[in-house]
Chain A
Amino acid sequence: MLRRVIELLPVLFLASIVVFLLLHLAPGDPSYFVAGRDATPEELEAVRKKMGLDKPLHVQYLIWLGNILQGDLGESALSDQPVSRLIWARLPATLHLAVAGFLVTILLSLLAGVPGALRPNSKVDHFWSAYSAAAFGIPVFWLGILFILLFSVRLRWLPPSGYVSFLEEPVRSLQLLLMPALTLGIANSGVLSRFIKFSILETMQQDYIRTARSKGLAERVVVRRHALRNALIPVVTVAALMVGRLLGGAVVIEVVFAWPGLGRLLLEGINSRDYPVVQAALLFVVLIFVIVNLVTDFLYVYLDPRVQLERR
């Protein structure tokens, strides 16, 4: 277990170097990007000093990394606010969407994956197979636009875009959440439902299923107690890997539905060349992604004691 954690450190270290270098590879003077467009010469000088721009690159990196490890992500070049505060402000909206999207993904994937696996080549199977293929191929942002066209433009049932906190206006918050969460869920269920289906199909061919059947257990019990439980173990790993897709899809969906999350912050940072924001947000995403992968590995061992991480 510990070894897996230690193995991740070089990846994180190298990724942080990549993020650090973004600022220095971009054409132009880094101090100008960090201090902002309206900076006075004195401010520029102060920034240069703080970043150690007169020192060699590896020293600059160490200064930068040291600051980050102490929780100082720098200040936005645009608004002079601490970047950490900007990230914290956007985090709730992103989590709100990600959690809802994840739940919808799981629900839809089980709905689309299980029936087809239990009755292969039936009408149900063909229907949900077609659904999975369509969900896998549909562009996320187009799906979002289609929902807006249907539910907001045509039927006028739902507000097209925006975000309010659940604590402030629960009903409106849920109304606004519905389309983005559904979009995210459908888009991700394409992969996951197929995976669930094949995992169950494979499990149903195992010897212990034949044993369970031959000792006279009802088919329902065989499916629930023996097949599904075992089939869903590998599904957990894939479901957790979906977090990467979820994060990526969320950026696009945040744009479609004007959702003020981390993805939008990152894009705003790119468009206004606000490098401290871009660096911090990217680093944050990489960290989450790497941690999720690690947790997945642990979860896998926990669910299936036969798996041992140390002997890969």
Chain B
Amino acid sequence: MDNELDRRPSRAFLKRLLRSRSGRFGLTLVLVLALLSLLSPLVAPFTPLEMNRGDEFEPPSARYVFGTDQFGRDIFSRVLHGGRISLLVGFGSIGVAALIGVGTGLLAGYLLGWVDSAVMRLWDVLLAFPNIFLGIAVVAVLGPGSLVSALAIAAMNMPHFSRITRAAVIAEKQKEYVEAARAMGASDGRIAIMSILPNTIPPLLAQIATAIPRAILLEASLSFLGLGTQPPRPSWGNMLEDSRDFLWRAPWYGLYPGLALFLLVLGLIFLANAIRDLLDPTRQNIE
């Protein structure tokens, strides 16, 4: 390989990511959709709640690119706005899950003993609920909403981050550089954060990349079930829920929010695959 040892590792990583076909494809798809969604107040021709009297159930046209719904709301504008919820919940919940998971994983792996047992039992219990059902349980207590569904999704993901970190910490702890740090008089906290944490980053990055598309799918599922984002605020899940009553009158309503969701998730999956291949070169031989 040429100048792989770039001074700025993140830039070298991006370069290699763009060299793989699935990385390019995924990144392009995700960037286009994310920009359209995040800039939706500028891009969207209508506000998401604007009802156009007399234009109910308009099929797709130049004025309404994706058609309108039963209140004459522009589906294109609503799809763009809905993307913000998906992105926010997807990235936000995984961010929180990674923070808490890594923190507890570091503690458990470093201290072992009863802290370790307690933390790992907690994750066993969370994992005993297949993911949608954990969402349902959380909603049963806190009531439906975007924030609650984000919390539930974060809770489903914490165990994985925690377990990965713990395993990496236990493996790294044996190594000589940790011994060296200790010999130089570094404190426990310093060893855990400065020496061990950086070495757990590759598996964690791979986990983050794979968890985000799943989180976005789950947010949409929960909203579809009426447990997540509540109408009239648009999310792809609750729009599709709504569309079920009008499939005969307005088939386009059932089509476009799902297409946006599918494309975003597909882009994120391709990106995740590319990232995983880069982080773990042995995988490339199989694929």
Contacts and interface: CB of A to CB of B under 8 A. Distances in A.
B14 interface: no
A299 to B, nearest CB: 19
A146 B255 CA distance: 7
Interface stretch (B49-57, B92-100, B243-251): B243-251
Contacts of B241: 255
B240 A142 contact: yes
Given A145-B240, A149-B247, A139 B261 contact: yes
A59 interface: no
Interface residues of A, number: 49
Given A22-B137, A153-B251, A198-B286, A145 B130 contact: no
Interface in A255-298: 255-256, 266-267, 270-271, 275, 278, 282, 285-286, 289-290
A256 B133 CA distance: 17
Given A11-B124, A145-B258, A202 B247 contact: no
A271 B269 contact: no
B113 to A, nearest CB: 18
Given A133-B266, A289-B128, A145 B244 contact: yes
A300 interface: no
A140 interface: yes
A270 B227 contact: yes
Interface string B116-134: 0000010011001111110
B225 A26 contact: no
A168 to B, nearest CB: 26
A18 B130 CA distance: 14
Interface in A35-72: none
B30 interface: no
Contacts of B220: 139, 141
B247 A270 contact: no
B224 A18 contact: no
Contacts of A154: 251
B249 to A, nearest CB: 10
A18 B131 contact: no
12 contacts: A15-B129, A18-B125, A18-B129, A19-B137, A25-B141, A139-B217, A145-B244, A148-B247, A152-B247, A202-B286, A248-B130, A252-B224
Interface of B: 121, 124-125, 128-133, 136-137, 139-141, 213, 217, 220-221, 224-227, 237, 240-241, 243-244, 247-248, 251, 254-255, 257-259, 261-262, 265-266, 269-270, 286
Given A137-B266, A141-B258, 4 more contacts: A142-B259, A198-B286, A248-B132, A278-B140
Q: 10 nearest interchain CB pairs?
A: A142-B258, A244-B130, A248-B132, A137-B266, A14-B125, A145-B254, A137-B265, A25-B141, A15-B128, A11-B124
Interface of A: 10-12, 14-15, 18-19, 22, 25-26, 133-134, 136-142, 145-146, 148-149, 152-154, 160, 198, 201-202, 244-245, 247-248, 251-252, 255-256, 266-267, 270-271, 275, 278, 282, 285-286, 289-290
